Amino acid sequence: MKKKLLILLCALLLTACADKNQYEQAVLAQMQKEKDVADYKIAPEDMVSCVVAQTANKMAGVFPLDPARLTDYRNYARMLSPEAAKDPKAEMDQLRTAFGSPEALAEAHTNYTESVVECYSVVISKSEDSAKSK
């Protein structure tokens, strides 16, 4: 019984890591395209860690391995990668369904956008503080 539980837990952890990594990769792809990241000489990886943490605060689920949060990681990754879809209109329809409603999809997009803006502020102020202390 304990072995079965351990195997199930390991499978859940691997899935959870894969979903979060997929979302992180989607955010990284977006940050590498952002002109402001290059203009402000911000490391895209710094923005990724901040954006993922900020968006996770407003995602469904109480804790990082909550199945609702894992679903949100997958949906957010799909939302950020519409070019991967063969039919963008069908993909948007699927995303509306996956998020539960068009309003929920809009809220998720707003959450992502607000997180990016907040992270610009955080990352830039940290770099300015470290430059002042040198």
SS (H, E, C) 17-42: HHHHHHHHHHHHHHHHHCHHHHHCCC
Extract the tokens encoding 4: 């079965």
At 75-122, the pLDDT tens digits run 999 999 877 778 888 889 999 999 999 999 999 999 999 999 999 999
pLDDT at 10: 45
51: closest CA among 81, 78, 66, 29? 29
pLDDT at 43: 93
Tell me the DSSP string of 44-86.
HHHHHHHHHHHHHHTSSSSSTT-HHHHHHHHHHHHHH-GGGSS
Sequence spans of domains, the chain: 37-133
pLDDT digits (tens, 9 = 90+) for 9-66: 445 544 545 788 999 999 999 999 999 999 989 999 999 999 999 999 999 887 777 7
- Per-residue exposure over 40-77, b if at least 16 CB sit within 10 Å of its own CB, e if not: eebebebbbbbbbebbbeebbeeeebeeebbbbbbbbb
pLDDT tens-digit readout, 96-107? 999 999 999 999
